[in-house]
């Protein structure tokens, strides 16, 4: 419900990727590793990679002036 309300309110300012609650994401820091190294195939890693791709694509379309 919160997600749908945020998407409705912010419209195109919200990324499509959704980072799920994931045990592997929570476990990774206690092992001193980023989740991508701890478990490259877990849903959390895949979601973060998807978000990174969205951010990079947006940057390519609208680079921030330095």
- What is the reported pLDDT for 29? 97
Whether 42 is in a domain gets the answer yes
Rounded distance, CA 16 to CA 23, Å?
22
> In this structure, what is the dihedral angle of CA atoms 47, 53, 58, 63, given to the nearest 10 degrees?
130
Rounded distance, CA 4 to CA 11, Å?
10
Whether 66 is in a domain gets the answer no
pLDDT tens over the chain, length 66 residues? 899 999 999 998 999 999 999 999 999 999 999 999 999 999 999 999 999 999 999 999 888 754
Whether 18 is in a domain gets the answer yes
- What is the reported pLDDT for 22? 94
- What is the reported pLDDT for 7? 94
Residue partners of 61: CB distance under 8 A and separation at least 6: none
> How many angstroms from the chain centroid is the CA of residue 20?
9
How many domains are there within the chain? 1
- What is the reported pLDDT for 65? 56
| Residue 25 near residue 32, CB atoms below 8 Å | no
Domain that residue 21 falls in: 2-61
């Amino acid at each position: 419900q919160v997600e749908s309300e945020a998407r409705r309110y912010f419209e195109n300012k919200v990324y499509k990727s959704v980072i799920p609650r994931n045990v592997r994401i929570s476990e990774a820091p206690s092992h001193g590793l980023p989740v991508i190294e701890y478990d490259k195939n877990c849903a959390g890693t895949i979601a973060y990679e998807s978000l990174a791709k969205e951010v990079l694509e947006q940057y390519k379309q609208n680079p921030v002036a330095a």
